Structures are given as C-alpha cells and as structure tokens.
Structure 1
C-alpha cells in the first residue's frame, strides 16, 4: 500500500488546521486507498502546544490515518540521532541547522522531509498553518486529490488524471515529482501596506529581489507578479495541467513532492528569513521535469502577530533577509537553468553533485549587490516614515551582521547539501521513534 506523509510544520496554536488536515487525510484514504501519516512538527510553547495536543487527542480514529504530533523536545531527540548517524559533518552543526533556536522556514520543511523518510513514505504533501481550504457546495476542496492522482507516477500514466496535457511524449517515462496548486487571498509576503503607502517605493523594494542581470522591463514584470497568487475567482470545477511548469505556478504552501526529489536536495536553513524554502522547486522546474499544476488553491491569510507593534519589525526583517539571500540563490538558480536536463541522471532523478557545486560556488559572491540592497532599503523605508523609520534604524544597526549572516547561510547550506544523503539514510534506519513506531490511527 502506498504510504504518504501529509505534513504540517507549526509554531503557533492551530487546532482548526489540525482538524482540517485530519479530514484531508481521511479523504485520501477513502478515495485513493493510501496509508496517510499526518505529521505535525510543533515548536509551539506552553498553552499553544496544549491546544494543538487537545485537537490531536479529539480526532476520531480513522483506519489508514496515523497521526504523529511531535513537540520540540521529541523532534530534537530524533534529529540528534539522525545527525549522529549521518557521518561527515559535525553532528551538533547538523542538529542546529535542523532545529535552530529561531524560526527557519527551510529548516522546518527539511524536518518534514526527514520525518517522511523515517516513516517510509514515498511522498510529502505540505500544508501551512495560516491557510484555509476552499469550499464548494459545503465540501472542502482538498489539494491531495490532484496530488495522489499523479505524484510518483510516470508522466505517461499521469495523463489519465489531468484535464489537459502538454507533455512531450519523449518525457512519458519521466516521473511526476511535483504537483502544486496556488493560493488566493493576501500576498504571501506581508508587504501590501508598502504598495498602499507608495507604489513607487513598493516597486523599488520588490525590484531588489529580481535578478540584477535582467533587463529593466523584465525586472518590472517580475515585480508585478511577485508574491501574488491566482486571483480571486473561487474554485468551481477541477482543472489540471501536466507538463513543464512555470516557477510562478508552484508554491510551497500547496505542494506534493516525490521522495526522489526531497531525499536529494534540502532547503536553505536560514534563520528568520522568508522565502528560503523554494530551492527544491527551482531544481525540479529548471530540470524541466513534468509536473501537474492544479486549481485546488488554498486561501492565504495573515496571522495577527506580524502586524503588531512587537511583531512588525521582526517580520519585516525576515523580508530584508529574503532580499539579501537572493545574492547567493540567483547564481544557483541561474546555474540550474543553464544545466537544464543535465541536472538529472539516467533514471530521471536529480543529481546532487552539480547542485552542490553551484551552492559552493555562490558562497564567496561579491557582497556589493547586498550593500546596494541595504542602501535602497534604507532610503525606501525612511521615505515611507512612521514605523518604517524604526525598521530602517534596525536594519542600519544590524547592517554588518545581516551581510555576514546571508553569506554564512549560504555556507551552511553547502554543508547541509553535502550531508543530506547520509541524513536521509540515517532517518530511514532510525525511524521516527527510538522504540517501535507508534501513532494514533
């Protein structure tokens, strides 16, 4: 029986999301006959964790659904065992990259990947704690429907499950390693207020994350589509397309990945950095792997803490760090584009060696681009005034630290990529639990 991992990394109380995902898991079992491991990796403290635990405890047992709710300490025990069993790099460094002392979006997804490997799953289906499912005629619209129709199958077989195929028949034997939908609702990065305050400043700021080697008109076109989803039209009927995807149509908040992808390439383990969890999607897209893009979009919303007095600056600093990370990511992405199908081996699986070479080559990239980035941000934030002046002061006060951290993140990613195969092997050998696997189901 096919075993899949439906995954939720969370750092906040989200009992309603847990209930929704349990329903999605039950839907997958009923309609596809799979075994679903609902993996909740929870770093919430105190009362928030208790609320999530209560939600898990209240779930009705469903044959074929196994629920794993791991708090931070249980996660630490598992990843310490994996780090020690991986060989190679310093186990404490690997553990720190997997479970750092602050929010790290790439790290939390990497934890899901190793958890899925430990559970023996063939695919990981990622969801967020700040998104809802759409509803049609009183029924939730679950993305796992399209995901399980296609994930892991040869593309030629996946044709039967889509509404339109753009597959080149020479690619029929290639596996579908990526299935993704988009999102509706608010921007997936909370910078809409900047656009409302001053559209020109918004353009200047968002331009900083576009490839600097592109012509101005292409950079401006990228600004227009950045951080937006699919619009506002609600779901009414299924649509899905099989073929080479566009990077703008894949989103980590609504995605399924085959184990032959995520067991090769981990994500950037940057701390407090938005958008650092997309490198694997870039690799699959730029290798021109066939994928399925569907319209079971989730509904994105903002949790309130990012707009409060205490939460505003830390959240926006995450955006600043995203902009600085691009200096090291774009050489990698550009190299992936140049390599194209050479990113794949004879079995149509990602090759880690050329990717690792690209990651290592980006580490010592000239910092001048990031110096310029911080100069533009300082001018832009001060022009907006108000709380953005405070943000500008914080960025200025941490300027050297921010530049150093962006480079160190790239260096640590290289270490993690090099160590990843050993960590996957160790996760499989260790299992998620030191004793016999246990779960609710």
Structure 2
C-alpha cells in the first residue's frame, strides 16, 4: 500500500486546522486507498500542545490514517539519533540547523522530510497552521485529491488525469515530482498596510527581492503579482495543468513533493526568514521536472499575534532577512535556470552536489547590494513613521549583524545539502519506533 505523509508544522494554537487537516487525511485514505501518516510537528507551548493533543485523541480517523503528534522533545530525540547514526561532521551544528531556537520555515519542513523517510513514505504533503480549506456545495475542497492523482506517475501517464498538458513530449518519461496550488485571501506577506499608507514605499520595498539588474518594468510587474497568490476568487470547479510549474504560482501551504526530490536536497534552514522553504519549487522547475498546477487553493488568513507590536516587529525582521537572502538566491536561481536539465541525472534524480556547489559559490557575492537593500528599508520605513520608524531603529542597530547572518545562512544551506543524503539514509534505517522516539497518537479506525 502506498504510504504518504501529510504534515502540519506549527508553533501556535491551531486546533481547528488540525481537525481540518485530519479530515483531509481521511479523504486521502478513503478515496485513494493509501496509508496516511498525519504528522503534526508541534513547537507550541505546553498549554497549546495539550489542547492540540486533545483534538488528536478525540478524533476517530479513517482506516489507514495514523497520527504522529510530536513535540520538540520527541523531534530532538529523533534528530540526535539520526545524526549520530549518519556519522556526519559537526553533529551539534547539524542539530541546530534541523531544530534551531528561532523560527525556521525551512528547518521545520526538513524535519518533516526526515521523519517521512523514517516512516517509509513516498511523498510529503504540507499544509500551514494559518490556513483553511475552501468549500463548494457543502463539500470541502482538499488539495490532496489532485496530489494523489498525479504525484509519482510519469508525465505520460499523468496526462490522462489532468485538464490540460503544456509539456513538451520530450519530458513524458519523467516522473511528476511536485503537485501544488496557491492560496486565496489575505496576502501571504503581511504588508497590506504598507500599500495603503504609501504605494511608492510599497513598491520600493517589495521590489527589493528582484535581482538588481532587472529593469524598472520588470520590477513593477514583480511588485504587482507578489504575495497575492490566486487572488480572492472562490473555487467553482477543478482545473489542473501538467507543466513545469512556475514557483510564483504555488505556495508552501499547498504543496506536495515526491521523495525523489526532498530525500536528495533539503530546504535552506535559515532562521527568522520568510521564503526559506520555497527552494525546491525552483529546483524542480529549473531542473525540467514535471509538475501539476491545480486550482484547489487554500484560504490564507492572519493570526491575531501578527497584529501585536511584538508580532509586527518579528515579522518585519523576517521580511528584511528574506530580502537579504535574495542576494544569494537570485545568484543560485540564475545559474540553475542556465543549468536546466543538467541539474538532474539520467535517472531524473536531482543532483545535490550541483546545488551545494552553487550555494557555496553564491556565498562569495559582494555584500554591497545588501547594504543598499538596508538603506532602502531604512529610508522607506522612516517615511512611513510610527512603528515602521521604530523598526528602522532596530535595523540601524542590527544591520551589520544581519549582513553576516544572511551569508552564514547560505553557507549553512550548502553544508546541510552535503550532509543530507547520509541523514536521510540514517532516518530510514532508524525508523520511528526505536527507543526514546514517540510515535504520537494512533486512534482506532472508525
């Protein structure tokens, strides 16, 4: 029986989302006859964790749905055993990269990848705690429906199950390694207020993630489509396209990957940086691997914490570090686009050594471009005034350290990529039932 991992990483209260993702797991098991490992990686506080555990215990899942609700202690124990078994260099650094003290969107998903390998899963399907599902005619619109219809099939075989194909026949023998969609609702990045306060400032800030050599017109186009997902139009019916999926059209709250991808290359483990979990989308696209883009968009919403002053400051820091990271990722993406199919081998596997080499090469980029990014942010935030100006003071104090962190983050990514396959092999050999490892909560079938 095919086994999949449907995962929800969280560090906040999200009982309703856990219940909804559980229903998606039931849908997958009942409609597609798969075994679903529902993996909840929970870094929330003790009280919230207990509330989540009550939701898990109180639900009666479909046959072949097994729930693993793991706190950070269980995750850390698993990682220590994997790292020890793998024999990789700098084991303590590896643990920090996999389970850092700060928020890391890449690291939490990397943990899901390793645990999925330990569970013997063929694919990982990721959702987010600040999102929910659309409903049509009383029926919940689950993205896993499209994911399981295509993921792992050759492009030739998958073509019969999609609405349209815009893929050259030369790619027909390759496997579909990614299926995803986007979101509707609020912007994926919490900068809507900035656009209302000053549209020019909004343009100057958002365009910072473009390569410096882009024209003004290219930057305007990027700003106009950035962070908007699929807009606000509700779901009215299915449509899916077999293609090389544009990374701008999918979101990590609504994505699935075949293990052929995530067991070879991890995500960047940068802390306090939004967008650090989007790398594999670019790798799949540039490596000419097939994917399916569908329209079962997730509903994105903002949690109350973002509206607080502390939440605002934390989020603006993550946004700043995202812009600084683009010095390195724009370098990598340009070269991956040029490399094309050479990023995969004759068996259509992505080549981790090529990725690690590009990451190391990018680390030598001239920081002057990032100094300019910080200058633009300082000028823009001070123009907005209020708490934006207060954040500009924070940037003024931390600017040099942020420049150092951005470079260190890409160097860590190269290091983790080089160590990744030994970590995956160790995860497979250890599994999730060894001493000291919790397998979470498995409710009886209903």
| CA displacement at 1:437 relative to structure 2 | 8.2
After superposition, where does 1:178-327 map in structure 2 within 5 Å? 178-327=178-327
Matched, 1:63 2:68: no
Structure 1 runs not aligned, ≥5 long = none
Measure, in 1, the Cα distance between the counterparts of 2:104 and 2:416.
14
Paired residue total? 441
Partner residue of 1:419?
Answer: 419
Farther off after superposition, 331-340 or 428-437: 428-437
Measure, in 1, the Cα distance between the counterparts of 2:406 and 2:234.
39
Change (3 A) 1:144 1:61: closer
Q: Is the 8 A contact 1:124 1:259 kept in 2?
A: yes
Q: Is the 8 A contact 1:431 1:437 kept in 2?
A: no
| CA displacement at 1:88 relative to structure 2 | 2.6
Structure 2 runs not aligned, ≥5 long = none
Partner residue of 2:442?
Answer: 440
Measure, in 2, the Cα distance between the counterparts of 1:437 and 1:397.
43
TM-score after normalising by structure 1: 0.98
Measure, in 2, the Cα distance between the counterparts of 1:79 and 1:13.
24
Measure, in 1, the Cα distance between the counterparts of 2:370 and 2:215.
19
Measure, in 1, the Cα distance between the counterparts of 2:129 and 2:2.
26
After superposition, where does 1:363-382 map in structure 2 within 5 Å? 363-382=363-382
Aligned-residue CA RMSD in angstroms? 1.1
Residues 228-267 of structure 1: per-residue CA shift (max 9 Å, x gap): 1112211111100001222211211100100000011111
Measure, in 2, the Cα distance between the counterparts of 1:215 and 1:231.
25
After superposition, where does 1:101-140 map in structure 2 within 5 Å? 101-140=101-140
Partner residue of 2:75?
Answer: 75
Partner residue of 2:91?
Answer: 91
Measure, in 2, the Cα distance between the counterparts of 1:233 and 1:408.
40
Q: Is the 8 A contact 1:119 1:431 kept in 2?
A: yes
TM-score after normalising by structure 2: 0.97
Measure, in 2, the Cα distance between the counterparts of 1:311 and 1:236.
35
Partner residue of 1:352?
Answer: 352
Q: Is the 8 A contact 2:74 2:438 kept in 1?
A: no
| CA displacement at 1:308 relative to structure 2 | 0.5
Partner residue of 1:21?
Answer: 21
Partner residue of 2:169?
Answer: 169
| CA displacement at 1:433 relative to structure 2 | 3.2
| CA displacement at 1:297 relative to structure 2 | 0.2
Measure, in 2, the Cα distance between the counterparts of 1:303 and 1:98.
25
Residues 198-243 of structure 1: per-residue CA shift (max 9 Å, x gap): 0000000011111112222112111111111112211111100001
The runs of at least 4 consecutive aligned structure 1 residues that moved more than 2 Å come to 435-439
Secondary structure of 2:124's match?
Answer: strand
Q: Is the 8 A contact 2:155 2:175 kept in 1?
A: yes
Measure, in 1, the Cα distance between the counterparts of 2:367 and 2:128.
33
| CA displacement at 1:167 relative to structure 2 | 2.4
